[in-house]
Amino acid sequence: MTFHFTQKVLFKHCDPAGIVFYPRYFEMINDCVEAFFDTALGWPFEEVHKTGAIPTAEISATFRRVSRHGDMLNFALSNSAPGRTSLGLAFAVTCGDELRFEVRSTIVNVDEAGKPLPWPDMIRTKLTTDTGVSR
């Protein structure tokens, strides 16, 4: 099942061409992952970062249609089966029925020194069961 996150395209996101400046999309993706950990997994980033971090190891994006100021974007996040310390995420971002862009990433659970750590059991359990929550 799928976690949903919505983000209106705001003035700050847009470039002189009147469309979203693509590095801003990666901020939105990060916000979506932060909301997923908070809402769906019950492990908010402000807690995660007291003792470790969840860096992104790989990310790829394909931009299919531009987005403009005022567009309401829906981020549909789904996760793969978790690895021991890593997790694959896929995002399909739509406006209405139109697919705007797709992203795939791999994130890793690490300790304060940056060393990969197994996912906590509670998180692993949630990641292997239904995590779909709308927000």
- Residues contributing to the site for its own copies (CB under 8 A): 10-12, 14-19, 21-24, 26-27, 29-31, 34, 44-47, 49, 53, 55-63, 66, 68-70, 114
Neighbour tally for 35: CB within 10 Å? 21
Q: Between 66 and 122, whose beta carbon lies closer to its own copies?
A: 66
Dihedral, 39, 40, 41, 45 alpha carbons, nearest 10? -40
- As separate numbers, helices (DSSP H) first and strands (DSSP E) second, the chain gives 3, 7
Radius of gyration, CA atoms only, the chain: 15
Shortest distance in whole angstroms from residue 124 CB to its own copies: 22
Shortest distance in whole angstroms from residue 3 CB to its own copies: 16
Q: Between 16 and 121, whose beta carbon lies closer to its own copies?
A: 16
